[in-house]
Structure 1
């Protein structure tokens, strides 16, 4: 069934009348014109060809005997052109009813042959038939186009649903992997604390108070603090990722000195570096007295450096870790270099995504794979960028560049 939008009576039908006598054209137009029709007149075959190039016709009524190019020759040309070969042709002739004229007309591709004087009822009936056929064909074409468009939309929707399903499956896998990692990472420090508590309770039950001598007690507290600090860091990372996803990570820029900030972080991580058989060395360029001032959220930038140093200690294989602070081209630059196994080129973008780690072939490293992702997002929210320069076997250099005044810093706290 045809839709309302493509009912045949709404299709404009163009009719072409070709005759070298104006009075014949006038009389023929009076017979064929009607609602939803547009009639074009041509006084010669040449003029008719021009109209055929400009319009799509439902029907052509052509006089056979015309000076110059006659009706049969015009029909031959129309049949030889893709644009016009399907237009129905009705020949009109005042010549006698010799059969060879009619046969020649049909051989030229005519669908009918009318003799003058014309039978009014016959002309109108034949024209109505071909106009109705044209209108139904055009309506059907439009319906087919609409169906094709609907099919394409359906295919696009199916493809979108497939992509959504794949993304959902990926999200579920990420969730499951994330929960597995969280369980594993939290279990390690909790298990260590639990075992420590069990051992201490055993000593207390046996009255072995020498185990809690001041020198030993200090070491116990340090171990407990280390495990608690690991758990707090894991929880903070999870909270930061949640805030980033909601666009609610608070950035509060204030005047700060990047060199002083770096010294605080390096000093605070000295014992952690020692435990990882590493040594952190800080360079402030051009001299140790240089101030690298700007407007930043000092807490978040400390978090950036802490993440980079933690990453260097986990994957750098021990040894020296170099931290540099400098001013270059009007930008503050903070870099961390390790001398570990390096990062393959194909991994250098991936490691900045959530839950990703460097694929260096070593055993499982602590952490959720969120540090570099959080680092990149914090730096971006300061209007800066972070990049890695590395090759396998040559260590890794993480370089952070920060504008000294982040975008919208003058607007106060941002999220």
Structure 2
């Protein structure tokens, strides 16, 4: 089972004939024997290879086997290599003791017993393989542990994302039920009231002036429902990559100016007004309906959160882009909320009205990005907010401005 682990053996002796004899005795197909005739050669090999066993001759010129063993024990790379000493000297106990004191695990005497040498080498080779196999198993376990920790972290992120998605779904359903119920309740009450008048044959309730007021109320409620449905449809189109962009040439300043005129009644209802400053003509090729949708959303928010203060709107050219800036002087947006208002179903909680699904800015940003532009916000709490939409101008117009 451990035969795939290759073992390297080091034999050190100053006599070539001794090296050849020992090599022939311990070599095998699953082993690689390296020879050294001096301590210096041995040290060079020890630094280059990982050995399962070192067999050192005690008596060598220059650095002897004991000194080489002490060097090996003092070096991090070689300190755990088992050392077996070989000596032709007598079997005096103090000589062997010196060998063990130098870090040897065994001591062999010449002439060598071939069976004993083979047996001892086999034991150390097996120990090396078991140690290597254990090390590989530990490395595999560590890798597995790291992979499990990474997987666990990914699962935790996924769990948090799922929990967030569930909360968003629940919040969305709650918002939808509330927002849809408001215009529906108005329509239901109007219908019940009219049925009551009809049941009593009350013709005075259906004069021309009263009918006009009824139609206007019905139209407002129906438009609210249509807006909610369109927002949800736009989110679905964005998610599936099917948001339609139908570009045509028009002037951005003229579009914004016309839209502001249509917002006069809404501004009056909010006890505010919209001040418009048109810059140079900004003719570009964009989707007129979609850009109007973006600007209308910004105007609606500015009137809703503007604390009845005037709303300033201006169009201008900057860096080859046609820009619309909508500024209010209301409650403002905290730095934290500025990071989330462009996300789906996010609405900034305030004492002001927070009607809507929290989709307007998300849809607006996606529309602007689809045109190759950008939308940004600058705000300080209590000091209002400024939203800026920039759309790329045609190359010819940019060159004319230079």
The answer to whether the 8 Å contact 2:69/2:102 transfers is: yes
Match of 1:180?
174
Match of 1:223?
217
| 1:23-81, Cα deviation, whole Å (9 max, x unpaired) | 21121111111112111111111221111111110000000011111100111111122
The answer to whether the 8 Å contact 1:296/1:405 transfers is: no
The answer to whether the 8 Å contact 2:39/2:65 transfers is: yes
The answer to whether the 8 Å contact 2:53/2:82 transfers is: yes
Shift of 1:162: 2.4
Query: Which residue, 200, 207, 213 being the options, matches 2:194?
Result: 200
- Which structure 2 residue ranges, 5 or more long, are not aligned? 396-402
Match of 1:249?
243
Are 1:306 and 2:286 matched, yes or no?
Answer: no
4+ residue runs of structure 1 moved beyond 4 angstroms? none
Shift of 1:133: 1.1
Structure 2 counterpart SS, 1:351: coil
| 1:269-318, Cα deviation, whole Å (9 max, x unpaired) | 22222222222222211xxxx42111211111111001111111211122
Match of 2:382?
393
- Normalising by structure 2, we get a TM-score of 0.94
Give the Cα separation in 1 of the matches to 2:95 and 2:247. 95
Structure 1 counterpart SS, 2:11: strand
Q: Mapping of 1:232-271 within 5 angstroms?
A: 232-271=226-265
Structure 1 counterpart SS, 2:250: strand
The answer to whether the 8 Å contact 2:348/2:354 transfers is: no
Structure 1 counterpart SS, 2:341: helix
- Which structure 1 residue ranges, 5 or more long, are not aligned? 1-6, 407-415
Farther off after superposition, 151-160 or 99-108: 151-160
Are 1:338 and 2:328 matched, yes or no?
Answer: yes
Give the Cα separation in 1 of the matches to 2:118 and 2:246. 84
- What value does the CA root-mean-square deviation take over the aligned residues? 1.6
Give the Cα separation in 2 of the matches to 1:277 and 1:59. 93
Match of 2:306?
316
Shift of 1:91: 0.3
Give the Cα separation in 1 of the matches to 2:381 and 2:153. 39
Match of 2:400?
none
| 1:110-162, Cα deviation, whole Å (9 max, x unpaired) | 11111112122211111111111111111121112112212222222222222
Are 1:20 and 2:10 matched, yes or no?
Answer: no
Match of 1:86?
80
| 1:319-370, Cα deviation, whole Å (9 max, x unpaired) | 32122111112110011111112112222111111111223x3055211111
Give the Cα separation in 2 of the matches to 1:140 and 1:319. 76
Query: Which residue, 358, 375, 378 being the options, matches 2:348?
Result: 358
Match of 1:3?
none
Give the Cα separation in 2 of the matches to 1:200 and 1:78. 105
Give the Cα separation in 1 of the matches to 2:149 and 2:334. 39
Give the Cα separation in 1 of the matches to 2:87 and 2:160. 70
Match of 2:398?
none
Give the Cα separation in 1 of the matches to 2:275 and 2:96. 105
- Normalising by structure 1, we get a TM-score of 0.91
Q: Mapping of 1:15-414 within 5 angstroms?
A: 15-285=9-279, 290-359=280-349, 361-405=350-394
Give the Cα separation in 1 of the matches to 2:152 and 2:333. 39
Give the Cα separation in 2 of the matches to 1:109 and 1:84. 12
| 1:151-193, Cα deviation, whole Å (9 max, x unpaired) | 2222222222222222212211111110010000011111111
Give the Cα separation in 2 of the matches to 1:64 and 1:255. 97
Shift of 1:237: 0.8
Farther off after superposition, 157-166 or 296-305: 157-166
